[in-house]
Structure 1
Amino acid sequence: MKNICLSLYSAFFLHFVLFSQNIVINEVFYDPAGSDGGYEWIELYNAGDEAINMFGWKIQKAGAEFESAYLFELLAPTIHPGEYLLIGEEFVPDADITTDLGFQNGGSSTDGIRLVSSDD
């Protein structure tokens, strides 16, 4: 009985971990020509074969190091297999989510971003 429970737990846990790794940051546009206010964006991609509900996932940014606060939290979108989710500022056409990203464009600190799943 113990082996069956452990096997079921392991199968569920491994499936969940692999499942969450199918969402990737596909592309980032952080420094458009001219004034970049309102034109920066992040594109997420579902490389898996199942739809993933992004509720509770977060985007975190960094200058010299990652901030403890999140840039923003995704509240409801689902990304279907092979589909993209575009997160952009106010002037990004066809953005699925609009928010202020405010990336740095040089200087002594470079920006980094990371996607944090809801279970982290």
Structure 2
Amino acid sequence: MSQITVVIGDRLGKGQKVAAGVEQASGRAVVIPGMAADMKLGDVMKAENAQLGISFCGSGGAGAITAQTKHGYKARYGMRSIEEGVTAIEEGYNVLGFGFMDKEELGQRLVAAYLKKHGG
């Protein structure tokens, strides 16, 4: 499998730590710049032909729901733990909405879970 691309959209324009974790796991991270970046998640995923999208905001939902509604990505949102994200990938979701959780471990574990499920 070619390299996995993960798009990260954070309501506050962050996401650099989770991006570092994605890259440590041999993924390619695309961090959407600027405030309200989570709302652009689906558009950037489509443009980048990304396999995974991660949205961060207070509720953990807005960007993921928008990506699902506008582009048909399979989204799970409102998550608060890394384990919930890993389970969502195992269940076939490719857009993950979290409360604010910009951690390297999150990026590493999500890429590892995706590669395990889809071969890589």
Question: TM-score, length-normalised on structure 2?
Answer: 0.29
Which of 1 and 2 has greater Rg?
Answer: 1
Identify, as 1 or 2, the structure richer in helix.
2
Identify, as 1 or 2, the structure richer in strand.
1
